[in-house]
Amino acid sequence: MSWLVTGGSGMLGSDLVACLEARGERVAAPGHAELDLLEADAVAAFVDRHRPDFVVNCAAWTAVDAAEQHEAEALAINGTAVTALAAACERTGARLIQISTDYVLDGLGDGPQPEDAPTGPINAYGRTKLAGERAALATTRGWIVRTAWLYGANGPSFPRTILRLAAERETLDVVDDQIGQPTWTVDVAERIVALAATDAPKGIYHATGSGRTSWYGLAQEIFTLQGWDPARVRPTTSAAFPRPARRPANSRLGHAHWSAIGLPPLRHWREALHSAWPELVRAWS
């Protein structure tokens, strides 16, 4: 099979490219400078030339706070560019896999939010990503893979920040009133490959770790993994850390659609973190 991965040098994209190459798949992963998704004609020409079976759109405006002041620019890449990419896929028969986020949902309640939960983003980034979902779902066979609380070797992430701050401070105050499912980029990459091997219908799939925790709980787990005293991490509230963009209190996603296509939910977030940890610490040091 042949693949086009946009955003292939980003945190998720780089692990997806590695995962595909390790399986001997044919992968085109043009960098931002080589293929700017804002240039619709260039995108159409690239897809026409390479004729991929699958297009995975990992490219995005991911600066959540900056999107509040720059929503039009964020929409251009997270929404309008996806419309152009989707049109190229539709014309050539490529199957589009659009990476999305729990931020398209309102994050109310504390249960897992199902794939068909009504959307209701509470910040600009979420609104722009929702536009991208709509563009992908307008294609005949588009798949949305929503993820959340991602960490990986090749990008900034919460675990990486915690490691840095722990070296600088004796105690860390970490918010305990936002819950979610930490998710390793490698698990998402492998799940994208597994999804592509199915004839699953067009729709939304939630690629997040199983279980739940808060940012505080995740920070404590990281301290434990490092052999540090987890009591150095202290719980606090989101109100103590005001940021330009509101964050959903509940980022948990339900996983029912996987079983409908014969795949299990992603493994428990703690198991994934423990597997990833040696590789991550090596990559970040």
Ligand X SMILES: NC(=O)c1ccc[n+]([C@@H]2O[C@H](COP(=O)([O-])OP(=O)(O)OC[C@H]3O[C@@H](n4cnc5c(N)ncnc54)[C@H](OP(=O)(O)O)[C@@H]3O)[C@@H](O)[C@H]2O)c1
Question: Could you list the residues that contact ligand X (CB under 6 A)?
Answer: 6-7, 9-13, 32, 36-38, 58-60, 62, 77, 99, 101, 129, 147-150, 155
Q: Nearer Cβ to ligand X, position 130 or 171?
A: 130
Q: Nearer Cβ to ligand X, position 12 or 272?
A: 12
Q: Choosing from 103, 125, 151, 216, which is the catalytic residue?
A: 125
Alpha-carbon dihedral angle through residues 182, 222, 155, 133, given to the nearest 10 degrees: 10
Least distance from C-beta 201 to ligand X, angstroms? 22
Q: Nearer Cβ to ligand X, position 40 or 281?
A: 40
User: For residue 278, how many C-alpha atoms fall within 13 Å in the half-sphere facing its CB?
Assistant: 1
Least distance from C-beta 237 to ligand X, angstroms? 21
Least distance from C-beta 98 to ligand X, angstroms? 8
Distances from the Cα of 196 to the Cαs of 3, 15, 56, 65, 263, in angstroms? 10, 16, 10, 32, 12
Stretch (H or E) spanning 214: strand 213-214
Q: What residue is closest to ligand X based on CB?
A: 10
Q: How far is residue 63's CA from residue 250's CA, in Å, rounded to a whole number?
A: 20
Alpha-carbon dihedral angle through residues 207, 174, 219, 9, given to the nearest 10 degrees: 50
**125 catalytic per annotation:** yes
Q: Nearer Cβ to ligand X, position 124 or 148?
A: 148
Strand ranges (E), 76-161: 95-101, 143-147, 150-151
Least distance from C-beta 74 to ligand X, angstroms? 10
Q: What amino acid positions are annotated as catalytic residues?
A: 125
